[in-house]
Structure 1
Amino acid sequence: MKQPTIAVFDIGKTNKKFFLFDFDFKELHQEYISIPETTDEDGYPCEDLLAVTTWMQQTLNRFLQSDIIEIKRLNFSTYGASFVHLDAQGTPLTPLYNYTKPYPSELLEDFYEKNEGKDTFSVHTASPALGMLNSGLQLYWLRKTKPELFAKVRYSLHFPQYCSYLFTGLAASEYTSVGCHTGLWNFVTRNYHNWVVNEQLDTILPPLVPTTQFTFSELNGHRIRVGTGIHDSSAALLPYIVQNKEPFLLLSTGTWNITFNPFNNEPLTKEELNQDCLLYLQTNGEPVKASRLFLGNEYNYQTQLLATYFQKSPDYFRQVEFDEGIYIKWKDLPEKSFCWQNLQFPDNSIIGADQTDLSVFKSFEEALHRMMIEMIDLQIRSIKLATGSTHIHKLFVDGGFTNSSLFLEMLSRSLPSFEIIATPTPLGSSLGAAMAISI
């Protein structure tokens, strides 16, 4: 008899992963692939949507032919701030625009002028002013700059829901995708913001459904329960909410390090927003306070600079373990050593060195320790934003940085009052997606 399994596609910026779980959520299999980016019509890097979807379909078909396992459920977690725009035939009309693509400044000013002003709008929608990262503003940009193309759009699907659409043909929107700094959701009225209707975007946004909603699809002769998809950061939070009764924080690490506090009910302030602290929507549509730091992206960039300078392999940083002597030598240096490339808050309050001088370090190990010391200072600042006035002393750490002894050791030393629990295997968002299709 074949073993019944849950299949999950976990689509990150860097790696595209496929998981199989049993019905007790034990991981049975994982594989991943890195797919080179392509460019949009302006020459800006973007996801190769066709390559990603082809890989997904081929991977699923391969496992549907297995003599050992039988896929009974299928779900998807992906990064946010990304839309797939479909025509009436269900064909993508545009590239999957990159959320780092620059937003036209005049258009942005025009938008905020028409919609309460930047500060009020940002507080009401829990969306720091981040241009394309506010994915709702991508719709505004498309409507204003490409009106002929926009007129052909039947549905604009958040990326997780597009992945689901590939296997169901059903168009839907869901809470975790709508509620991740999109500028679409008014957290005060608990509904879409007025501008969505004013700009007639409600006509291309499919009906809003619960994250746990599913449909049955016939895929290569197999009847499979297919989920609606979930935003990866919210997916990473779900297993902890299900399994823990006492208050906790979750630090979900990866390209973005996001600290979630489901127990902070304090109203969002302008000051918090300006330091990239915001609200997300949980799977049940309730808000959760979260603070964000673009740390994984910066870490990848800086470690490559170190590898080049010290003539090491690109992944040499993975071999470096925490060293007490090096840490003590560099931990109390008053001035900053590293100039950050993309690590900044909306209010520009992160201050690094004017330039990085790696000649002051005797080794790759010294430079990496000092870099992590400065990064941990910023991480602590971000954690405190999410904590607010809540009295919480348990912090779960999930994701890629659980593989770094430097990160975990320095984090523990900087938060002596916290019990810090690193998950042994960083399944994160994939496990949450598996749970969402099983609730």
Structure 2
Amino acid sequence: MPKTVAAIFDVGKTNKKLFLIDENYNIVYERSARFVETKDEDGEVCENLESLRSSVFDSLHQVLQLKEYDIKAVNFSTYGASFVYLDEKGEPLTPLYNYLKEYPEALKVEFYAKYGGEAKISLETASPILGSLNSGMQLYRLKKEKPEIFAKVKYALHLPQYLSYLISGKAVADITSIGCHTQLWNFGKNEYHDWVLAEGLQEKFGTFTPADSVIETKFEGKNFEVGVGLHDSSAALIPYLANFSVPFILLSTGTWCISLNPFNQDVLTEDELKQDCLCYMHFKGKAVKASRIFAGYEHEVQLKRIAEHFDRAAYLFKHLQFNPGMILKLANKIPENQILQTEFSEKSAFTERDLSIFQTAEEAYHQLIFDLVKQQIYSLKLVLNQGVKRIFVDGGFGKNAIYMHLLATSIPDIEVYASSVSQATAIGTALAIHDAWNPNPPPSDIIQLKYYSAIQRSLQF
């Protein structure tokens, strides 16, 4: 008898994956693809949209032929801040522009002058000013710079909703994409922002649809339910929401280290926005207050600097164990180690440190992690509120023993766990539409946890 599964497309900037997930949330099949990037009309690199489109159709066709699996549902998660502009026939009108594409300063000045200023828009949309990363600004740019193309746009769909559209044929808008640093959504009014209505953009987004909705679809003679798609950061939070009811913060660590607090719906202040706070959107439509620092990237840059200075291979540092004695020694050597970070900084103090003051590479690396954790604690406290009892650290730093021990020591009143969910984004994307394909209750053992206690409570941050 075929095994009941959900097919989940997890589309990152680098890897595009298809998973089949069974009723116990085990991954029973995986397929991965990578595409060569193409260039837009300005010569800037961007996603190869045609390759992605073809891959979705080809991959789904292939897994539908597998006799051992019965696909009951399909859903999608992708990176955010990316629009696909479709004409009346559903054909893309432009390349899939890179969200890092530089935004024209004159157009930016014009927009904020017209609609009340940067501070007002940021506060009301819970979005820092991020240029093209504010995806609403991409659509505004298309309207102003290429009105002849804008006039042909039937739908402007965020990437997850575009992939859903390819299979279901239905154009929808989803709150996890519309509500995440897009400057499209008024968090106070819980509706599209006034500027969106003034520009007539809301008509382009398709039918506003709950993120846990499904669309009954027939594809290649097979009937199944199709989800509306999710922004990947919101999807990765879902396994934690499904397994834990006690308030927590998820510290998602990678290139960016993002502190996500789904139990904090306080309105962002202007000061918090200036310190790189923003709101993501819970798949059930609640604001998720978040703060972020570029710590994973800085870790890689500074690790390379340490490795070159001490003539060591960078990979050797991955196996270093926590040495509390070394931290105490560093506290005597560097007095500011014992002082809390009191103001926001985009980089840690380590970027300005002279490596010649350290006797060994291990000592320098402990100081690097110490500095990153100090910076992280400041960022974390921007979204920390009463009632939070646990912090789950997912991603690269969750596997770093030095980082985890220092983090636990710095916040001894909160339980700190390294957590791991195999393919959290894909699992969350399947959980979002659980009731549409899975007759069983969600399992309670999706997440693996490792507890870290405060070894040296005398250490100060």
For the criterion TM > 0.5, the same-fold answer is yes
Match of 1:383 in 2: 380
For residues 25-76 of structure 1, what are the alpha-carbon distances to aligned partners after superposition, in whole Å with 9 as ceiling and x for unaligned? 2333445444443332223232233333333333333322223222221111
Q: Aligned letter for 1:377?
A: K
Match of 2:458 in 1: none
Q: Is 1:412 the counterpart of 2:396 in the alignment?
A: no
Q: 1:190 to 1:64 in 2, by over 3 A?
A: same
Q: TM-score, normalised by structure 1?
A: 0.87
Match of 1:393 in 2: 389
Deviates more, 1:239-248 or 1:28-37: 28-37
Q: TM-score, normalised by structure 2?
A: 0.84
Match of 1:163 in 2: 163
Q: What does residue range 209-220 of structure 1 map to in structure 2 within 5 Å? A: 209-220=209-220
For residues 155-193 of structure 1, what are the alpha-carbon distances to aligned partners after superposition, in whole Å with 9 as ceiling and x for unaligned? 111111112112222111011111101100011111101
Match of 2:265 in 1: 265
For residues 223-273 of structure 1, what are the alpha-carbon distances to aligned partners after superposition, in whole Å with 9 as ceiling and x for unaligned? 221110011111122222222222111122333322222222332211111
**Structure 1 residue 116: Cα displacement:** 1.5
Q: Aligned letter for 1:423?
A: S
Q: 1:114 to 1:59 in 2, by over 3 A?
A: same
Secondary structure at 1:215 match in 2? strand
**Structure 1 residue 393: Cα displacement:** 2.1
Q: Is 1:431 the counterpart of 2:441 in the alignment?
A: no
Q: Is 1:372 the counterpart of 2:369 in the alignment?
A: yes
Q: Aligned letter for 1:225?
A: E
Contact 1:336-1:353 within 8 A present in 2 as well = no
Q: Distance in 1 between matches of 2:82 and 2:62?
A: 28
For residues 321-355 of structure 1, what are the alpha-carbon distances to aligned partners after superposition, in whole Å with 9 as ceiling and x for unaligned? 54556555556764999xxxxxxxxx866464666
Q: Is 1:62 the counterpart of 2:58 in the alignment?
A: no
Q: Aligned letter for 1:40?
A: D
For residues 182-218 of structure 1, what are the alpha-carbon distances to aligned partners after superposition, in whole Å with 9 as ceiling and x for unaligned? 1000111111011112112123121210001111222
Q: Distance in 2 between matches of 1:382 and 1:76?
A: 30
Q: Distance in 1 between matches of 2:34 and 2:321?
A: 26
Q: 1:247 to 1:303 in 2, by over 3 A?
A: same
Deviates more, 1:123-132 or 1:101-110: 101-110
Q: Is 1:422 the counterpart of 2:415 in the alignment?
A: no
Q: Aligned letter for 1:401?
A: F
Q: Aligned letter for 1:295?
A: A
Q: What does residue range 28-427 of structure 1 map to in structure 2 within 5 Å? A: 28-303=28-303, 318-324=318-324, 327=327, 330=330, 334=334, 350=347, 352=349, 367-388=364-385, 390-427=386-423
Q: 1:272 to 1:84 in 2, by over 3 A?
A: same
Q: Distance in 2 between matches of 1:152 and 1:410?
A: 55
Contact 1:336-1:352 within 8 A present in 2 as well = no
Q: 1:402 to 1:19 in 2, by over 3 A?
A: farther
Deviates more, 1:23-32 or 1:377-386: 23-32
Over alpha carbons, which structure has the higher Rg? 2
Contact 1:257-1:294 within 8 A present in 2 as well = yes
**Structure 1 residue 309: Cα displacement:** 6.8
Secondary structure at 1:386 match in 2? coil
Q: 1:244 to 1:353 in 2, by over 3 A?
A: closer
**Structure 1 residue 364: Cα displacement:** 6.0
Deviates more, 1:86-95 or 1:401-410: 401-410
Q: 1:297 to 1:59 in 2, by over 3 A?
A: farther
Q: Distance in 1 between matches of 2:48 and 2:148?
A: 23
Where do 5+ consecutive residues of structure 2 fail to align? 338-343, 436-461
Deviates more, 1:142-151 or 1:349-358: 349-358
**Structure 1 residue 405: Cα displacement:** 3.0
Q: Distance in 1 between matches of 2:314 and 2:9?
A: 27
Q: 1:311 to 1:163 in 2, by over 3 A?
A: farther
Q: Distance in 2 between matches of 1:95 and 1:311?
A: 44
For residues 101-134 of structure 1, what are the alpha-carbon distances to aligned partners after superposition, in whole Å with 9 as ceiling and x for unaligned? 2211121111111111111111011011111111
Alignment length (residue pairs): 430
Match of 1:6 in 2: 6
Deviates more, 1:293-302 or 1:236-245: 293-302
Q: 1:38 to 1:326 in 2, by over 3 A?
A: farther
Q: Aligned letter for 2:161?
A: Q
Where do 5+ consecutive residues of structure 1 fail to align? 338-346
Q: Distance in 1 between matches of 2:13 and 2:363?
A: 29
Secondary structure at 1:411 match in 2? helix
Secondary structure at 2:403 match in 1? helix
Secondary structure at 2:224 match in 1? strand
Aligned-residue RMSD, C-alpha:
2.9
Q: 1:318 to 1:8 in 2, by over 3 A?
A: farther
